[in-house]
Structure 1
Amino acid sequence: MGKDVRRARQTNPWLVLAVLCASFFMTLLDTTIVTIAIPEMAAGLGASLDDILWFANAYMLVFAALLLLSGRLGDRFGPQRTFTAGLAVFTVASAVCGMVDTPEQMIAARAVQGLGAAVMMPQTLALISAVFPAERRGAAFGVWSAVAGLATVAGPTVGGLLVSQLDWRWIFYINVPIGALALLGAVLLVPDVRSGQSATLDLPGALLSTAGLSLIVYALIEGERYDWGTIESFLSIPLVLVLGILLLGLFALHQRGRQDRRPLVPFELFRIRKFTVSATLAALLLFCSIGVLLPLTLYLQSALGLSAAQAGLALAPGPLVSLFVAPVAGNAVGKVGGRIILVPGLMIFGAGIALMAIMADANSSAWAIVPGQIVFGIGMGLVFAPTSTLAMQEIPPRLIGVSSGMFTTFRQIGAVLGAAAVGALLQSRLAAEGVPEEVRRQAGRLAESVYAEGLTDAVRYSLFWTVATAVVAALLALLLPAHEKRPEAAQNPEPQVGADAPQTVES
């Protein structure tokens, strides 16, 4: 690289942040953008409700399951190269998603998309830690958190506009020009930061964690389809769940034996209370966010008969309100501490969901859920950014890279389990409300008015379960310190990438 580019890399970290934010905004947006296009995708591809759940979960499952391994790929090959490779895979897979003709092709393409996102995502926080000096790193993390929170909940709004104005395929095609520009920025602006040490990949650990999580999520998604019983021969849903839990247990034992050899999961991270509580809260928040978006999208389009654009706009107040609240909350957390913001914030978050559940009715208009959306948005703004900031606040410099990968993994596991659990709950409640099997498996036909009341009751039931999760999260936030104490590790950290190594920047 020339001297000018090298100088730009060193003196313009905000340009690097812009490239990173644009890239991971796409990956998180694609976690939820599919929900708004459910009726159109079902009709266009001849997909059942089971297929549609896998359109979302194939992406999120691969995304979450490979994050730990991807963090180590960044340590081994350099986060810039790993980030660029993941971005390229994600962009190409997005184009393929827009061209598929069958549900099976869509599920496969979404899985590859998830692979690209998983390779890319852990590198973003590591690169931010590398290119920003200590005194500006907090602001950069705040921007990252705000963009992450916005992307997670903006999917239905962006998707609704694309579906209505163009076609459902454009929820994927839109990633292609953005991805191409981000790739150019990644090559020209993002520095090639190296750890200076080799990193083992721990493939056995990656296989155990991936297999265990995959089995659990499969059982949650397909449980209702098989009446939580036999799948084929001796194979059953309970057996799949047990196998998944056992594999995750073996993964934990495997990691215990590797604590002195750069493990995928350094156990010392969990001795840091702020990280452990914040990472768990992040998982619960994503669980709740997905648990709100999926039922509400079905309710607005299939019960109320709104178009994709109308449904997207009906879901817009929450994200818009959170944009104004999040910066204030992010600045306040360093002054007053996490507990004083997160506990009431989570209660407001849950109250917004409860208000939407109460107001949802098969004969009402979309305006009925707007007050709940506003309260929900205030809660989102109070909890998303502070949770990310608190998670990284007391992390030793040598663990910044791996901790960012772990935090992102917790978030995505929450999203995966949220989509799987709420999808299973919806199917179960639809069955309990008397909606026939053949209709439940064809999402596009749910718009028939005779089934609107049953669907609305199922949606309301799912939302109240999400409220219960928010209350659990609020109780968990009580474990945070009552008063803020400025940690020594955060006062003067040196920029690090990876688990424990110094950096070099190569041209």
Structure 2
Amino acid sequence: MTAPALRMGTAPGRGTLLAAVLASGMVFLDTTVVNVALPRLGADLGATVSGLQWTINGYLLMLAAFVLLGGALGDRFGRRRVFLLGVAWFTIASLLCGLAQDTGQLVASRILQGAGAALLTPGSLSVLQASFDPDDRGKAIGAWSGLSGVSTALGPFVGGWLIDALSWRWIFFLNVPLAVLVVLAAMRWVPESRDEDVSRTEGTGRRRRRFDVLGALLGAIALAGVAYTLIDAPTRGFGSVPVLSAALAGVLGAVVFVLVERRRGDTAMLPTGLFTSRLFSVLNVFTVVVYAALSGFTFFLAVYLQNVVGWSAFRTGIALLPMTILLLIGSPRAGALSARIGPRLPLTVGPTIAAAGLLLLRGAGPDASYWWDVVPGVTLFGVGLTLVVAPLTASVLAAVGDRFAGVASGFNNAASRAGSLLAVAALPLLVGLSGTDYEQPAELTSAYRSAMVWCAGLLLAGAALAVLLIHRPPRAAPASQPCHTLPASTPPR
């Protein structure tokens, strides 16, 4: 099926862009405000630290494991169809999140929400890529990126206000009216498209490419096993049957995943031949490390500022605003700089500056001032992260052949989610935070300060990787299509 070639100045073009921007905006909004809501929902539902961890990680687990499969489903069965399925799924799960009466219900709903996001996230961009005339495609994607960045920047204001004025539940309920607008716009204006490419088999004509559902399931089992082990070990004990079983399942899932992907070759969800490129392998390790530090930082800072410093959810959300603005404005410039001088310097200097910001934030005490104790550290962290995002994306895409650009971008996105998941799972264990300690100022202060040191150490490890092992890729890649769903960035198709 050939999609109509939409133009930017037409009603169908504007309507398709509106649907894509609003849909991705739902995901980006939840990404920025759920951390801010953790103290309130934890107190309301009587959650332990592990409950807060699973509130974040249930979502990340499904998104990391199934985002590549979600993109492939759209290519096969129709991008608009799968996009709308993702919107509906995500919205129903959001409604269930807002209605949750205990931590178990919330975590289960967040897992469902992550599965919907795995369909929605690649779809919001792929409908633009497939629907617009080549002459307008770059403008459409640029507009999508900028408007999505604005929605991310508005997240702290809107989410913080909703939490303070109404309830944490409204950060999820807000998705319902947005989803109605997305569905109406998509049904009215978004054209259907799918990938009609087929591969030939010797003597049998044509066949469609296979889905690697088994690979996605094995990846989910591996991540879930490791996450459960790290999260529940402090309360159950490392020698308990559930924890040992989860650890075994995680290790076996990872081993079998590698074996299955290697056997399937180019039909695999993750062709293992990509890792013959040492640069591609190093860049993805770098991604895991840096995004682990980012997620560990935001997880602890949001809880600390509310439960120790005593700030409102709105003020806590605004505390992260300098980082968002810097990413929104600075990422294109960092991409252009990397294209001129190569990625090594930005990927070395960026994490180092970010680490300095975290060490500065470590000193913020119970009577912390917004302008003197928080803004400088968050700004330094934002400057460092801005130097990383676009150069990292361009380098990942340039490290592999053009035919693997989509899967390389998708895997790098999954690597960033996996790094976030592992950090949220492991850091409370490493700093001794468990049970309801996050409600006790003394215990939380000690854990927060240790966590900032751990996150700074991860960033410095990333800088060491860059200076020792990262070099200029053999070809340039566009810096306008980042792999990660950060402000001013573009998730994979």
Pairwise TM-score range, normalised by the shorter structure:
0.7 to 0.9
8 Å contact kept, 1:34–1:156:
no
- The structure-2 alpha-carbon separation of the partners of 1:406 and 1:399, relative to structure 1 and needing over 3 Å to count, comes to same
Q: In structure 2, what residue type is equivalent to 1:227?
A: G
- Aligned with 2:193: secondary structure? strand
8 Å contact kept, 1:33–1:159:
yes
Once the two structures are superposed, residues 456-477 of structure 1 have per-residue CA deviations (whole angstroms, 9 ceiling, x without a partner) of: 1210101110011111111222
- For 2:483, the equivalent position in structure 1 comes to none
8 Å contact kept, 1:126–1:401:
no
Once the two structures are superposed, residues 163-206 of structure 1 have per-residue CA deviations (whole angstroms, 9 ceiling, x without a partner) of: 11332111111212222222333334444332213232233323
Return the match for 1:452 from 405, 428, 441: 441
Q: What are the equivalent positions in structure 2 for 1:318-357 lying under 5 Å apart?
A: 318-357=323-362
What CA distance in whole angstroms lies between the structure 1 residues aligned with 2:8 and 2:321? 38
- For 1:314, the equivalent position in structure 2 comes to 319
Q: Does 1:475 align with 2:481?
A: no
- For 2:205, the equivalent position in structure 1 comes to none
Return the match for 1:200 from 187, 204, 210: 210
Q: In structure 1, what residue type is equivalent to 2:442?
A: E
How many angstroms does 1:342 deviate by?
Answer: 2.0
What CA distance in whole angstroms lies between the structure 2 residues aligned with 1:150 and 1:222? 37
Q: In structure 2, what residue type is equivalent to 1:248?
A: A
Q: Does 1:374 align with 2:345?
A: no
- The structure-2 alpha-carbon separation of the partners of 1:414 and 1:149, relative to structure 1 and needing over 3 Å to count, comes to farther
- For 1:243, the equivalent position in structure 2 comes to 249
- The structure-2 alpha-carbon separation of the partners of 1:481 and 1:293, relative to structure 1 and needing over 3 Å to count, comes to closer
**Number of residue pairs matched by the alignment:** 466
- Aligned with 1:194: secondary structure? coil
- For 1:209, the equivalent position in structure 2 comes to 219
8 Å contact kept, 2:97–2:109:
yes
Relative to structure 2, which stretch is displaced further, 137-146 or 329-338? 137-146
8 Å contact kept, 2:59–2:113:
yes
Q: Does 1:403 align with 2:408?
A: yes
What CA distance in whole angstroms lies between the structure 2 residues aligned with 1:273 and 1:125? 29
How many angstroms does 1:34 deviate by?
Answer: 1.8
What CA distance in whole angstroms lies between the structure 1 residues aligned with 2:97 and 2:184? 22
Relative to structure 2, which stretch is displaced further, 459-468 or 340-349? 340-349
The two structures have a TM-score, normalised by structure 1, of 0.82
What CA distance in whole angstroms lies between the structure 2 residues aligned with 1:83 and 1:165? 32
Q: Does 1:284 align with 2:289?
A: yes
Once the two structures are superposed, residues 353-400 of structure 1 have per-residue CA deviations (whole angstroms, 9 ceiling, x without a partner) of: 12111x222343344121101111111221122222332245544334
How many angstroms does 1:125 deviate by?
Answer: 5.0
What CA distance in whole angstroms lies between the structure 2 residues aligned with 1:275 and 1:133? 32
What CA distance in whole angstroms lies between the structure 2 residues aligned with 1:223 and 1:144? 42
How many angstroms does 1:401 deviate by?
Answer: 3.3
Q: In structure 2, what residue type is equivalent to 1:455?
A: L
- The structure-2 alpha-carbon separation of the partners of 1:229 and 1:366, relative to structure 1 and needing over 3 Å to count, comes to farther
What CA distance in whole angstroms lies between the structure 2 residues aligned with 1:29 and 1:468? 29
8 Å contact kept, 1:142–1:327:
no
Return the match for 1:252 from 250, 258, 273: 258
Q: In structure 2, what residue type is equivalent to 1:207?
A: L
- The structure-2 alpha-carbon separation of the partners of 1:212 and 1:481, relative to structure 1 and needing over 3 Å to count, comes to closer
What CA distance in whole angstroms lies between the structure 1 residues aligned with 2:282 and 2:106? 36
The two structures have a TM-score, normalised by structure 2, of 0.84
What CA distance in whole angstroms lies between the structure 1 residues aligned with 2:166 and 2:18? 27
Q: What are the equivalent positions in structure 2 for 1:23-422 lying under 5 Å apart?
A: 23-124=23-124, 126-127=126-127, 129-131=129-131, 158-196=158-196, 197=198, 198-230=208-240, 235-260=241-266, 262-272=267-277, 275-357=280-362, 359-367=363-371, 368-393=373-398, 395-422=400-427
How many angstroms does 1:54 deviate by?
Answer: 1.8
What CA distance in whole angstroms lies between the structure 1 residues aligned with 2:36 and 2:296? 14
How many angstroms does 1:127 deviate by?
Answer: 4.5
- For 2:4, the equivalent position in structure 1 comes to 6
- The structure-2 alpha-carbon separation of the partners of 1:490 and 1:167, relative to structure 1 and needing over 3 Å to count, comes to closer
Once the two structures are superposed, residues 416-463 of structure 1 have per-residue CA deviations (whole angstroms, 9 ceiling, x without a partner) of: 11221223334x1x47xxxxx5x42xx5xx2xxxx4233212101011
How many angstroms does 1:67 deviate by?
Answer: 2.1
Q: In structure 2, what residue type is equivalent to 1:453?
A: A
How many angstroms does 1:320 deviate by?
Answer: 2.1
What CA distance in whole angstroms lies between the structure 2 residues aligned with 1:405 and 1:83? 17
Q: In structure 2, what residue type is equivalent to 1:200?
A: R
Q: In structure 1, what residue type is equivalent to 2:407?
A: V
What CA distance in whole angstroms lies between the structure 1 residues aligned with 2:284 and 2:126? 17
Give the aligned CA root-mean-square deviation in angstroms: 3.3
- For 1:498, the equivalent position in structure 2 comes to none
How many angstroms does 1:215 deviate by?
Answer: 0.9
Once the two structures are superposed, residues 99-128 of structure 1 have per-residue CA deviations (whole angstroms, 9 ceiling, x without a partner) of: 222222212211111110012223345445
What CA distance in whole angstroms lies between the structure 1 residues aligned with 2:243 and 2:117? 29
Relative to structure 2, which stretch is displaced further, 172-181 or 184-193? 184-193
- The structure-2 alpha-carbon separation of the partners of 1:32 and 1:179, relative to structure 1 and needing over 3 Å to count, comes to same
Once the two structures are superposed, residues 56-96 of structure 1 have per-residue CA deviations (whole angstroms, 9 ceiling, x without a partner) of: 22111122222233233223213332222111211222122
8 Å contact kept, 1:31–1:60:
no
8 Å contact kept, 1:9–1:191:
no
8 Å contact kept, 1:338–1:481:
yes
Long gaps (5+) in structure 1: 432-436, 492-507
8 Å contact kept, 2:94–2:172:
yes
Relative to structure 2, which stretch is displaced further, 104-113 or 118-127? 118-127
